[in-house]
Structure 1
Amino acid sequence: MGAATTTKRRRPRAVPWVLLGIWVAVLALAWPFAGKLGDVQKDRAVDYLPASADSTQVAKIQERLPGGETTELVLVYHRDGGLTAADRKTASAQVRSLDRQFELVATPTGVASKDGSTLMYPVASTAPGIDEEKRDAFVNDVRDVVKGEGGLDADVGGSGALATDASEVYQSLDGPLLYTTVAVVAVLLILIYRSPFLWLVPLVVAGVANFLSMGVAYGLNQAFGTSVSGQSSGIMTILVFGAGTDYALLIVARYREELRRIERPDEAMAAALRGCGPAVLASSGTVAAGLFCLLAADLNSSRGMGPLGAVGVLSALVAMLTLLPPLLVVLGRRVFWPIVPAFGSEPKKRRSLFASMGSSAGRRPLAVLGAGAVLLGALALGAFNLPGNLKQEDSFTSKPDSIAAMETLATAYPERGTQPINVIVPTADADRLLDRARSVPGVDSAERGRTAEKWTELSVVAKAPPQTSAETATIEALRDELDPRGAYVGGPSAEQLDLKDTNARDRLVVVPIVLAAVLLVLVALLRSLVAPLLLLLAVVAVWGASLGIGGLVFEPLFGFEGTDPGLGLLSFVFLVALGVDYGIFLMHRMREECLEGAETGAAALTALRTTGGVIASAGLVLAATFAVLTNMPMVQLVELGFVIAVGVLLDTFLVRTYLVTSASLALGDKVWWPGPLSRRPRTPAPPARDEPELTAVR
């Protein structure tokens, strides 16, 4: 009877298998949708522009004009030392061929540069309409016709060519970004776990979470019209693998610890989830809440990134809490081979790096805190050295044909504009507003274009080159003159101006909302006001220092000519939300120690010693996943990846280990004000517990 009872008690429970079965069903349901995410990905200007800006209204109205949105190109023929008669004949023949093959708005007319080295032909077609694939096909067909020979350079530029080059870059990101991210995470997990098998489990679960996030993102697009761009889908992938691996590291580390105390793997996993589950839930909730705050942004690209980023984080959370545990339980202790945590065994004693760091901070906490604050403040000053706003021609790390064409135009035609300013006016007042547009200072020419319903398109050319201060003044003068009369001023240069202005507006609106949302989550978790404010102050300082480091290297080291206008806001949201993650791991453990009677200073050192290893491992993985973006061919992605990766490393190895610990030691129980822990009576501190360091590295 006893033997039968023992056998029954030790029989594997069905819960892990039930959860695995549920995941098989979930993946079967997500399969038809995940593969369709690329089909709804849009990288048109209107998908990135501010929702309320003039340039956005122009792009939307252009879609309703005859033929839809216009694809505008500039054919650029150039020869150093001057074009020959044969060059001009070649250019003319190619332009005539284009006129015969494609539905051009008008027969292109060549404009020669003053030095005779360059000839440009503005080309416009409505044939592609708003279809990105048709636009890209049209641009590539034009490039097949426009060819130089015998030293004659022939390039296709203009807003349509720029859009095609950018679209091709974003479409090419999906594969390399995913493969590179997986490879980086795999290498780090192998180094962290030092096991030939264990690293595969969290990596596979992260891959499943990524697949789930793609299906959910597609569903959001179909149900609510959530915009999906190359940038937002790429960031979603980074978050799934980065945040998901972080949660896996914490769960696996705690599970390993419990396996030494509890014989049955399923019971050990249950204990591990009880111990670290609240911190994982709170940290993911904080990140998701911060990302959802981007819905308050006016910029379409930022607003769309919020839900997709949150979907990535929550998909990673669900997978790590409901798929990773049953997989580990089913595989049993052998998955940790060759260092198997046997029941009743003790971890190998070793000197703890984080215990040493905590001791050094504990000897002179105020001095450490002051030195760290000075260092972060000094680094933040580098933000004043950030280059100006990023221009279209500086947005690629390499030089596609469209950029080469723009550079040639800027050199050959320094005295005039080379791309139109698109103005949409009420048809009833079109003639009068056309005359007013021609009279605006800085306007070189203005012509009437297409008409549909109540709108007419005007094509205005400025005297100044594109994206210069003089052209910006012309655009602003046009808006001052025409906007009060119901007109809209758009076009590529106006779009860049609107991006800059809207990002400035979004920072003022979104930043306070993010801080408030994160603060509320921290107050609810830590039952304190001082500790959450301390964590928020720390992550804001990290954000400033990271931008400062960017200012020191972007132009001098990387050669970037500008800074993406959205860098400040996006890096703030990610660094605040993700940085607070590690603060939650540390502070939650510190509060647990205090609730068990430890004095706050001793609790801070214990928390650092027991969570320092897993926080360091998680920080390295998260920084490495965002660093993958620095290998992408778009400057804005490189800048964002660099700032976030640097910020995560600063947060992991400086702020969490030294500054937050030092501040907690200096404040003592006041760090829990106004909660009950701040009013507890002074009692002798219990002896420090001799427990293993909670680390993913063994």
Structure 2
Amino acid sequence: MTTKPPTATRVPFWLRWLVPVLLVVTWLAIAGIGGPTFGRLSEVSTNDQASFLPASAEATAAQEWQAKFRESTEIPAVIVIENGDAFTPAQFGQAAAIKGKLESLEGVSTVIGPIPSEDSKAVQFVVPIESSEAVRDIVQELRDEVKASAPDGMQTFVTGPAGLTADLASAFGGIDGILLLVALSAVFVILLIVYKSLLLPVTVLLTSVFALTAAILLVFGMAKMGWIQLNGQSQGILSILVIGAATDYALLYVARFREALTHTTNRTSAVLTAWKASFEPILASGATVIIALLCLLFSDLNSNKALGPVAAAGILCALFAALTLLPALMALFGRAAFWPFRPKVLPETEREPRLSTGLEGQRGIWRATGSLVSRRPRTVWVASVLLLLVASTGILQLKANGVPQTDVILTASNAVDGQDALARHFDAGSGSPAVIVADEAKAAAVLEKVKATGGVGDAYLLAAGSVPITGAPGAPAAPAVRDGKVLINATLSSAADSSAAEDTVVALRGAVKTVDAGALVGGVTATALDTNTSAQRDLVTIIPIVLAVILVILMLLLRSVLAPVLLMASVVLSYGAAMGVAAVVFNNFLGFPGADATVPLFGFVFLVALGVDYNIFLMSRVREESLKHGTRPGILRGLGVTGGVITSAGVVLAATFAALGIIPIMFLVQLAFIVAFGVLLDTVLVRSLLVPALSYDIGERIWWPSQLGKHSKGAHAPGREPAATDSETENAGVG
């Protein structure tokens, strides 16, 4: 039983003021350093897809060989100038003059072209540019120059890998400021509604923001030292995850602090009582999410491996902020934090009611929910399971095998439009060839196989001294040779990011290996293909690991086997329902062509880890109440006192993840919907009805093999509503 500090207990000065002030000052210092670092994350961030491939991928091996044929890390920008009619000689001459202007730009050296199309309605330039942070600026300069210099009335585009990379970077441009502003605004409004207080929402938000600044410092340091690879996706997820998790932990602590203030007039004693009561569930919750995220280290994709420690670092900082900074602020503010609705000290007789049913002291929706659970437990949990199963059938419509890069950006994109223009007038894979690494002695035979493969528009050996990633069509007399290997560039008939191009790469790999068993096929298309393949393999590998480690944590926390197994089953079922509904929405309402191959895995990790969070909050309180009153009354009491705070936490987390939807990247929009909807489903249906009803129906056996609950005289049989007593106590849940 939780001990209640005596009202008259005198707390030493150092504990009342010195420790809280030191903690706040320490966090102010962290924020002072970490805040400015937020704008520097772009220095250690990259969105180059090839750099996130697993070391075992064929495209990675091909890329390493490709690097030996060049001294720079150039990527091609493909310029297309399109006319409604055939170019006149004068117009072609004007277009050709652009070449010199492009070569005078900073960051541009050799320009290949102009290359006219067969229908004479378009010309093409290939401009290799340095792959660096400046890609976005260089591409914009290219677009400005081409638009200004092209013949009147013509459409101009800068596309290819460089153009798409620049537009992707522009789409991520809102992550640093807009995303954070939207998320914090949404959380602030929700907290105002929940607490009906101005100071408390500000305090909770400060805790979240300070946790984020600490996480940024940690992540920046890891990226700077080369321990992780940071990209725009993991950067956006970090902000959302830290704000959401820190707010959730803060809500749980504040609920226990408010409850403790009804037992004592001493705010320091209340702070310590709340800290002791909330420490275990907050720690278990944070540890569960951290370990689940670190399971991503088993991923075959470097991008997934990077997200694991990045997000885990964020949760760790959220955990520390909720257990140090927030209690310190509460110790300084005391009851004033809740102004104008300050909690009052209850009479001694009302602080801990003698429960016979578990509904004593509850009011409103949570009394009604508890009453429904106690009267019809089996009906409630069976209906909940059936509803989730029906929703899960939508997962059969999920198309998570990758999407073309041109579909990733959801806003207008000059590069995407340029790919369409390329497809109208040239081989659609122009500027993004498949790259074949072959033995010098077998070069001619491999080249012949490549040219004979369906879907290949043209193929040629890389000539000595030419630009490696583009080369020049023809059959060079002196091919470039490195360590006995040559490069063959194959221009694909289909767009480099299309499924047809991926099929061509698969066919190329099969064909060239019949001549040269050691031949490698890489390039933009092969990179995307190997990324999707690795992501689908990760799904099968990581999910069992995540389930196993979370199950062990729950068993240790609840000192039970049956309850954790049932909780995990409920969370997995909730995940299936969320993915099923998401698939229907993506296909039939949002019109997405599919989903990124990593979406199911990320959705699983976040939903399972965060869904278990709420079950930890609920069942740890149920266990606490069951020790005092018996299992069934303890279930109803736990449901009632945690109902408001967990629902509020779920709404906050859903709102923060929904904010990811403002970034016009398909992956983030899809992840935002899956997690936001899944969290709401978990808090409203699974945690409020399914888990309590199932636990109530099973009774004290839910704690098997522990003997918890069997000694209680308060347990009563399911199927009939318990009579409420007149004993009242303040509901510690918020909302």
The TM-score normalised by the length of structure 2 is: 0.87
**Pairwise mapping of residues 388-399 of structure 1 onto structure 2 (< 5 A)?**
389-399=402-412
Structure 1: which amino acid aligns with 2:653? L
Identity of aligned residues (%): 34
2:368 is aligned with 1:364: no
**Pairwise mapping of residues 289-438 of structure 1 onto structure 2 (< 5 A)?**
289-344=291-346, 351-387=363-399, 389-413=402-426, 419-426=432-439, 430-438=443-451
The Cα of 1:562 is off from its aligned counterpart by: 2.3
Distance in 2, matches of 1:693 and 1:81, equals: 76
**Pairwise mapping of residues 441-520 of structure 1 onto structure 2 (< 5 A)?**
441-449=454-462, 450=468, 451=480, 453-454=482-483, 455-482=485-512, 485-520=517-552
**Pairwise mapping of residues 229-248 of structure 1 onto structure 2 (< 5 A)?**
229-248=231-250
Q: Give the conservation status (yes or no) of the 8 Å contact 2:126–2:431.
A: no
Q: Give the conservation status (yes or no) of the 8 Å contact 1:87–1:152.
A: no
Of 100, 117, 122, the match for 1:119: 122
Query: In the alignment, which residue of structure 1 is the partner of 2:652?
Result: 621
Deviation per CA, 1:424-478, whole angstroms, max 9, x where unpaired?
3455654554344334343222122345743543211123443444422320122
Distance in 2, matches of 1:414 and 1:46, equals: 23
SS at 2:199 equivalent:
coil
Shift in CA distance, 460/275, structure 1 to aligned 2, threshold 3 Å: same
Query: In the alignment, which residue of structure 1 is the partner of 2:43?
Result: 39
Query: In the alignment, which residue of structure 1 is the partner of 2:683?
Result: 652
Shift in CA distance, 469/322, structure 1 to aligned 2, threshold 3 Å: closer
2:696 is aligned with 1:693: no
The Cα of 1:120 is off from its aligned counterpart by: 4.1
Structure 1: which amino acid aligns with 2:414? D
Query: In the alignment, which residue of structure 1 is the partner of 2:575?
Result: 543
**Pairwise mapping of residues 472-621 of structure 1 onto structure 2 (< 5 A)?**
472-482=502-512, 485-598=517-630, 600-621=631-652
The Cα of 1:18 is off from its aligned counterpart by: 3.0
Query: In the alignment, which residue of structure 1 is the partner of 2:697?
Result: 666
Q: Give the conservation status (yes or no) of the 8 Å contact 1:612–1:694.
A: no
Shift in CA distance, 367/302, structure 1 to aligned 2, threshold 3 Å: same
Distance in 2, matches of 1:278 and 1:696, equals: 20
SS at 1:638 equivalent:
helix
2:264 is aligned with 1:262: yes
SS at 1:563 equivalent:
coil
Distance in 1, matches of 2:594 and 2:444, equals: 39
Of 155, 158, 165, the match for 2:157: 155
Q: Give the conservation status (yes or no) of the 8 Å contact 1:615–1:652.
A: yes
Q: Give the conservation status (yes or no) of the 8 Å contact 1:62–1:68.
A: no
Distance in 2, matches of 1:201 and 1:62, equals: 54
Q: How many residues align?
A: 685
Q: Give the conservation status (yes or no) of the 8 Å contact 1:631–1:638.
A: yes
**Pairwise mapping of residues 80-95 of structure 1 onto structure 2 (< 5 A)?**
80=84, 83=87, 87-95=91-99
Q: Give the conservation status (yes or no) of the 8 Å contact 2:663–2:669.
A: yes
Structure 1: which amino acid aligns with 2:169? S
Structure 1: which amino acid aligns with 2:46? K
Structure 2: which amino acid aligns with 1:556? N
Deviation per CA, 1:105-145, whole angstroms, max 9, x where unpaired?
5632424254x5x41415042x51x4232x33332222122
SS at 1:445 equivalent:
strand
Q: Give the conservation status (yes or no) of the 8 Å contact 1:394–1:562.
A: no
Query: In the alignment, which residue of structure 2 is the partner of 1:110?
Result: 115
Q: Give the conservation status (yes or no) of the 8 Å contact 1:352–1:609.
A: no
For structure 1, which runs of at least 5 residues remain unmatched after alignment?
1-5
Q: Give the conservation status (yes or no) of the 8 Å contact 1:62–1:69.
A: no
Of 164, 167, 178, the match for 1:165: 167
Distance in 2, matches of 1:654 and 1:207, equals: 30
SS at 1:444 equivalent:
strand
Shift in CA distance, 215/469, structure 1 to aligned 2, threshold 3 Å: closer
Distance in 2, matches of 1:602 and 1:298, equals: 47
How large is the RMSD of aligned CA atoms in angstroms? 2.8
The Cα of 1:351 is off from its aligned counterpart by: 2.6
Q: Which moved more, 1:464-473 or 1:498-507?
A: 464-473
The Cα of 1:34 is off from its aligned counterpart by: 5.7
For structure 2, which runs of at least 5 residues remain unmatched after alignment?
1-7, 352-359, 463-467, 469-479, 717-723
Q: Give the conservation status (yes or no) of the 8 Å contact 1:420–1:461.
A: yes
Distance in 2, matches of 1:61 and 1:364, equals: 67
Shift in CA distance, 673/180, structure 1 to aligned 2, threshold 3 Å: same
The Cα of 1:191 is off from its aligned counterpart by: 1.4
Of 31, 50, 53, the match for 1:49: 53
The Cα of 1:410 is off from its aligned counterpart by: 3.1
Distance in 2, matches of 1:51 and 1:690, equals: 63
Q: Give the conservation status (yes or no) of the 8 Å contact 2:79–2:127.
A: no
Shift in CA distance, 138/430, structure 1 to aligned 2, threshold 3 Å: farther
Q: Which moved more, 1:411-420 or 1:356-365?
A: 411-420
Shift in CA distance, 472/518, structure 1 to aligned 2, threshold 3 Å: same
The TM-score normalised by the length of structure 1 is: 0.91
Distance in 2, matches of 1:638 and 1:32, equals: 28
Structure 1: which amino acid aligns with 2:492? A
Distance in 1, matches of 2:65 and 2:132, equals: 15
Of 702, 706, 711, the match for 1:675: 706
Structure 2: which amino acid aligns with 1:420? P
Shift in CA distance, 364/84, structure 1 to aligned 2, threshold 3 Å: farther
Q: Give the conservation status (yes or no) of the 8 Å contact 1:206–1:240.
A: yes
The Cα of 1:88 is off from its aligned counterpart by: 3.4
The Cα of 1:369 is off from its aligned counterpart by: 1.7
Q: Give the conservation status (yes or no) of the 8 Å contact 1:361–1:658.
A: yes
The Cα of 1:480 is off from its aligned counterpart by: 2.2
Structure 1: which amino acid aligns with 2:377? P
Shift in CA distance, 676/8, structure 1 to aligned 2, threshold 3 Å: closer
Structure 2: which amino acid aligns with 1:473? D
Query: In the alignment, which residue of structure 2 is the partner of 1:216?
Result: 218
Q: Which moved more, 1:487-496 or 1:284-293?
A: 487-496
Q: Which moved more, 1:686-695 or 1:342-351?
A: 342-351
Deviation per CA, 1:278-311, whole angstroms, max 9, x where unpaired?
1011001100010000001111211111101111
Q: Which moved more, 1:437-446 or 1:471-480?
A: 437-446
SS at 2:136 equivalent:
helix
SS at 1:489 equivalent:
strand
Distance in 2, matches of 1:411 and 1:606, equals: 67
Query: In the alignment, which residue of structure 2 is the partner of 1:3?
Result: none
Q: Give the conservation status (yes or no) of the 8 Å contact 1:46–1:60.
A: no
Of 275, 285, 288, the match for 1:286: 288
Distance in 2, matches of 1:160 and 1:562, equals: 24
Q: Which moved more, 1:172-181 or 1:35-44?
A: 35-44
SS at 1:108 equivalent:
strand
Q: Give the conservation status (yes or no) of the 8 Å contact 2:361–2:728.
A: no
Structure 2: which amino acid aligns with 1:461? T
Q: Give the conservation status (yes or no) of the 8 Å contact 2:509–2:521.
A: yes
The Cα of 1:491 is off from its aligned counterpart by: 2.0
SS at 1:261 equivalent:
coil
Q: Give the conservation status (yes or no) of the 8 Å contact 2:31–2:214.
A: yes
Shift in CA distance, 320/81, structure 1 to aligned 2, threshold 3 Å: same
Q: Give the conservation status (yes or no) of the 8 Å contact 1:423–1:458.
A: yes
Shift in CA distance, 472/28, structure 1 to aligned 2, threshold 3 Å: closer
Structure 1: which amino acid aligns with 2:367? A
Q: Give the conservation status (yes or no) of the 8 Å contact 1:279–1:588.
A: yes
Shift in CA distance, 138/60, structure 1 to aligned 2, threshold 3 Å: farther
The Cα of 1:666 is off from its aligned counterpart by: 1.7
Deviation per CA, 1:662-681, whole angstroms, max 9, x where unpaired?
11122112211222327x35
Q: Give the conservation status (yes or no) of the 8 Å contact 1:37–1:215.
A: no
Structure 2: which amino acid aligns with 1:374? L
Structure 1: which amino acid aligns with 2:554? L
SS at 1:73 equivalent:
strand
Distance in 1, matches of 2:225 and 2:79, equals: 42
